[in-house]
Amino acid sequence: MSEQLAIELEGIDKRFGAVQANKDINLKVKKGSIHGIVGENGAGKSTLMSILYGFYHADGGEIRIDGKTVTIASSQAAIALGIGMVHQHFMLVENFTVLENVILGAEGGARLSKGIGRARAELKRLAADYDLKVDPDAITGDLPVGLQQRVEILKALFRGADILILDEPTGVLTPPEADHLFRILRVLRDEGKTVLLITHKLREIMAVTDEVSVMRRGEMVATRETSKTSMGELAELMVGRRVLLDVEKTPAQPGAPFLSVEGLNVRDARGVDVVKDVSFEVRAGEIVGIAGVSGNGQSELLEAIAGIRPARSGVVTIDGTRIDLAAARRDPAEIRSYGLAHVPEDRHRMGLVTRFHEYENAILGYHRDPACGRGAFLDLDAIRATARAGIEKYDIRPPDCALKTANFSGGNQQKIVLAREIERDPAVLLVGQPTRGVDIGAIEFIHKRLVALRDAGKAVLLVSVELDEVRALADRVLVMFDGRVVGERAPETAESELGLLMAGATQEAAE
């Protein structure tokens, strides 16, 4: 066992305006280990990693790489020191091919022709060595997120990274994809590379890391050997109090159907049928969960019901109002007015305008509400008051509604959307990936809010790739595969059975 240190941080400080994102951080990471970092949303994890990667500059403190004191003035310097990073939000050029993305910044000469051939060979080698297969000529933006992430990892390895930082890599991955990633990380570690892994999923920390450090409100509060700690202890260290890792709920009392979907068919822009003849009901006072490997039509289903995506055929009934989705292009605002709220899966693309102030996002889509103003004028005081109430209730940090939304941490951005949609008290709530990128304290809170909404007699349709989450929250589970609902199960059904259904095994085989 080598006790050499790959990374040593001493007294790192970083302040953004009024927010102290990192306070006197000390961290030691052993060479050839997988080191986890956990902490609440906004604890400063991404900031710390961005400092290590030269993307931000620390206000003070010292960084040592392999025992040598260094200044990391730019990402270029970080790359030269053998540091690679997979950012929480991918840093890819979407209309580039995979190959182009990988060589960007490491082209190997002023003319591309030479470098490209070498890069292609190198990618092939990396793909074989680490089981990181991606078509080098595919357009990056067309790839599913799991593959886009591989491209990010390939980028780092291509540059010869010895230290690999992954910021919430599994937030967007399905469980099998995450397992695959962890196999790769272990291989990298066994080769002597050092991995820094940020995640909110304590199970992953327990499964894959050697050591784990906990951050809270900008400070490093503890470092533990993974084998000598527990999920409960980590959760408590993170949040500063005991956290319930399970959802507490009473049996559902379903009432009249609030949301019914009949014969929904959706074809996407490429002409592929992505939702096929889906019908189901969600009753007042129940949570229906949709389980499935991502990309099996769940996202499109939600978007079609919300009126964002045109459907080829299908009727939804929301709280008694029948809407023919295939008729004239439906307007999401109209559908909302019947009592439907929607927390989109991808908060960056659909949920938020990140360049807006927080309070503007807090009413986005509801700006015509009488509560937000009169006629053409917005009542900013009332809007700010609404925003502040949301910030308080959902513990959004920092509690500043005038801050630009882009400057909130990932999990806090998610809370902004949730606060906006849930607090409207809708009859029907559609939620996609409600806890993606959210810390465990907040997960506990969000789960409680969803259950409370149910207990208040509302209908909740939940889509999540986290099977655990679906099983914990839902009163009934629908499994989607290849655009169809392939089965309905009770949430207590064994994970293996649900897993088989999700993988497309036929009904009979699963029974």
Partner 1 sequence: MFDTLILILDSTVRLSTPLLLAALAGLYSERSGVFDIGLEGKMLGAAFAAGAAAAVTGSAWIGLGAGIAVSIALALVHGFACITNRGNQIVSGVAINFLAIGLTALLGQDWFRQGGRTPPVTGDARFETLVLPFADALREVPVIGGIYSELLSGHNILVYIAFLAVPFTWWVLFRTRFGLRLRAVGENPAAVDTAGISVTWLRYRAVICTGILCGIAGAYLSVAQSAGFIKDMTAGKGFIALAALIFAKWKPVPVMFACLLFGFLDAVAIRLQGQQVPGIGEVPVQAIQALPYILTVVLLAGFIGRAVPPKAGGTAYVKERS
Ligand X SMILES: Nc1ncnc2c1ncn2[C@@H]1O[C@H](COP(=O)(O)OP(=O)(O)OP(=O)(O)O)[C@@H](O)[C@H]1O
* Residue span binding ligand X (CB under 6 A) among the ranges 305-313, 342-350, 401-409, 445-453: 401-409
Rounded CA separation 94/356 (Å):
23
- How does 45-78 read in b/e, with b if 16+ C-beta sit within 10 Å? bbbbbbbbbbbbebeebebebbeeebebeebeeb
* Residue span binding ligand X (CB under 6 A) among the ranges 28-36, 39-47, 264-272, 328-336: 39-47
Q: Does the footprint of ligand X cover residue 405 (CB under 6 A)?
A: no
**At closest approach, how far in Å is the CB of 414 from Mg ion?**
11
In contact, 245 and 235? CB cutoff 8 Å: yes
Residues in touch with partner 1 (CB under 8 A): 46, 53, 55-56, 74-80, 85, 87-89, 91-96, 100-101, 103-107, 109-113, 115, 155, 348, 354, 406-407, 410
**Residues from 70 through 89 that contact Mg ion (CB under 5 A):** 88
Q: Does the footprint of ligand X cover residue 415 (CB under 6 A)?
A: no
**At closest approach, how far in Å is the CB of 396 from partner 1?**
16
Using CB under 5 A, which of 22, 46, 199, 294 touches Mg ion? 46
Rounded CA separation 477/227 (Å):
35
Give whole-number Cα distances, 178 to 46, 136, 169, 251, 403, in Å: 20, 22, 8, 32, 33
Rounded CA separation 326/311 (Å):
5
Nearest one of 444, 436, 497, 499 to 473, comparing CA atoms:
444
- The residues, any chain, with a CB within 8 Å of residue 508's CB and separated by 6 or more, are none
Q: Does the footprint of Mg ion cover residue 229 (CB under 5 A)?
A: no
Our CB check for partner 1 shows the closer of 78 and 446 to be 78
* Residue span binding ligand X (CB under 6 A) among the ranges 42-50, 224-232, 375-383, 455-463: 42-50
Q: Which region holds residue 173: left if phi is over 0, alpha if psi is between -120 and 50, else beta?
A: beta
Our CB check for partner 1 shows the closer of 63 and 293 to be 63
Q: Does the footprint of ligand X cover residue 44 (CB under 6 A)?
A: yes
**At closest approach, how far in Å is the CB of 142 from partner 1?**
15
**At closest approach, how far in Å is the CB of 403 from partner 1?**
11
* Residue span binding ligand X (CB under 6 A) among the ranges 28-36, 269-277, 404-412, 415-423: 404-412
**At closest approach, how far in Å is the CB of 198 from Mg ion?**
7
Tokens of 237: 């260290």
Our CB check for partner 1 shows the closer of 115 and 504 to be 115
Q: What is the 3-state secondary structure (H, E, C) of 328-349?
A: CCCCHHHHHHCCEEEECCCHHH
Residue 469, helix vs strand vs coil: helix
**Residues from 382 through 411 that contact Mg ion (CB under 5 A):** 410
Tokens of 9: 């941080």
Strand partners, 8: 28, 64
**At closest approach, how far in Å is the CB of 187 from Mg ion?**
25
Amino acid sitting at position 372: C
Residue with tokens 């030691």: 28
**Residues from 7 through 26 that contact ligand X (CB under 6 A):** 16-17, 19, 21
Sites of contact with ligand X (CB under 6 A): 16-17, 19, 21, 39, 41-47, 88, 397-398, 407-412, 439
